[in-house]
Amino acid sequence: MTNTASPLDRIPVWSRAGVLAGVLTLATVLILIAFAWPTSRSEPRNLPVVVAPAAATQQIAKQLEAVGANELFDLAGVSDEAAARSAIANRDAFGAILIGPAGPRVLKAGAASPAAAQILDQLAATLATGKPPAIAQEVSSPAAGDPRGSAFATAVLPLTLSALIIGAAFGMMIRPRVPRLVGVLTTSIIVGICFTVVLDSWLGILAGAFVAEALTIALVLAAVASTVSGLVGLVGASGVGACAGVFVLLGVPLAGLTAPWQALPDFWGEFGRFLPAGAGGDLLRRLSFFPTAPVGFPLLVLVGWLALGVCLGLSVWRGSHPNGRSETGSTGSSIDSSSTEPTPINAGSSSAASSGRNGSTVAR
C-alpha cells in the first residue's frame, strides 16, 4: 500500500510550529476579548423604571438630571402602586419609584438583575436627600440558595458548554440523520432533568415549578445541540468551532444575566437576546421568579434555533464528513469496490485456464 503524503507534510516542521503558535495565540486572545470586553464596557443606562403617580415623572427626571444620573434610567409613568408592581412582575421594569406623603419609596427586583438592584439602592439614597430615608423595598428576591443572584448567572456557561459537547459528540459519532437527531433530543431531555435537580432541588438556585424549569433547560440544550450536530453532519468537525464561536464566545458574555442587556455596549445587548444563552436565561428567570411575565419572545427564539437545528440535522449534503466520507455511507463505497473486484479475479481465472490448456497441450 502506498502512503500518500499530506499537503502539510510538504511544509517545514518549524514553519508549521510557528503558524500553529500564531493561530493559537490569536484564538486565545479572541476568547479573552469575548468574555472580558462586554463586562468591562458595560455600564448602567436606560434601565426601565416606572414612576407612580405618572404626574411625578418630570419631577423625578429633573432630580436625576441634577445629579448627573438622567441617562441611567428610562422613566415611564404609571397610575399607582399596583400598576408599578404589575410592571415589575411582568418584566417591563426593573424597579419603581413611588411618590407619597411620607416621601419617595423605591421598589426593586433582585431576581431580575443583581446589578440593577444595586443601582436602585443607590437611587433610593439619591432621592432621600433632605427627606426621610427612601427604602429600596424588595419585590422579587432571588432564591434562598442564591441570595445575590450570582450563581444563576454563572449557570449559563456550563449549560451552553454541555449542549456544545452533546451536539459535537452525536455529530461526529452518529452518521445516520434520524438516529443522530433522536439521540440529541433524548439526551437533552435527560440532561435537562439532571440540571434541574442540581440547580433547583439541591442548590436551591431556582425557585419555580420543577417541570417548567426542566423543559426550559432541555429546550436550551436541544436548540444548541441540534444545531451543532446538524452542522457537523454537513460540514464536518469545523462546524464545532463555528458553533462554539456563536454560542459560547458570543452567546454567554452577551446573555445579559449578570448585568441587564441594556447595559451592554451599543447593539450587543439586543443581539444577545436572539442567542440561545440569552433567550434561555431570560425564559428560565421569568418562569422561576416572575411566573406572570409573558414568555413569548424568549420561547420563540429558542424554538427558532431548535427548528434550525432540526432542519440542519435532516439535511443531506454530499460533501465532506467528520470521517472524510460522503453522506452516502459505507454502502456506496462497498458497491464501488465490489464492482472493481471481478476484473482481477476473472483475469486470474483466465490465466489459470490458459495455463491449464497449455499444460495439457504440452503433455499431449
| Interhelix angle 177-196/210-235, nearest 10 degrees | 150
- Cβ 142 vs Cβ 92: under 8 Å: no
The pLDDT value given to residue 317:
63
Mind spelling out the 3-state secondary structure of 54-114? Answer: HHHHHHHHHHHHHCCCCCCEEEEECCCHHHHHHHHHCCCCCEEEEEECCEEEEEECCCCCH
pLDDT above 90 for 162: yes
Give the mean pLDDT of 139-144: 90
**pLDDT tens column, 196-242:** 999 999 999 999 999 999 999 999 999 999 999 999 999 999 999 99
**Chain-centroid distance, C-alpha 242:** 13
81-124 pLDDT per residue, tens? 999 999 999 999 999 999 888 778 899 999 998 888 888 988 88
The percent of residues above 70 in pLDDT, for the chain, comes to 81
Q: Of 8-17, 111-120, 291-300, where does mean pLDDT reach its minimum?
A: 8-17
Contact 305, 231 (CB under 8 A): no
* pLDDT at residue 271 is higher than 60: yes
**What band does 357 get if pLDDT is binned at 50, 70 and 90?**
very low
Please check the confidence at residue 318 and state whether its pLDDT lies above 70. Answer: no
| pLDDT higher than 60, residue 168 | yes
Average pLDDT score, the chain = 83
Q: Is the pLDDT of residue 126 over 90?
A: no
Q: What pLDDT is attached to residue 114?
A: 85
Q: What is the pLDDT of residue 133?
A: 58
Report pLDDT for 336: 42
Q: What is the pLDDT of residue 322?
A: 45
Segment 35-55 shows an average pLDDT of: 82
Q: Which residues are CB-neighbours of 209 under 8 A, at least 6 positions away? A: 287
Residue 41 C-alpha cell reads as 464596557
Average pLDDT rounded to a whole number, residues 330-346 = 43
Cis peptide before 53 (omega within 30 of 0): yes
Q: Which has more pLDDT, 330 or 292?
A: 292
CATH number corresponding to 47-138: 3.40.50
Domain ranges of the chain: 47-138, 148-314
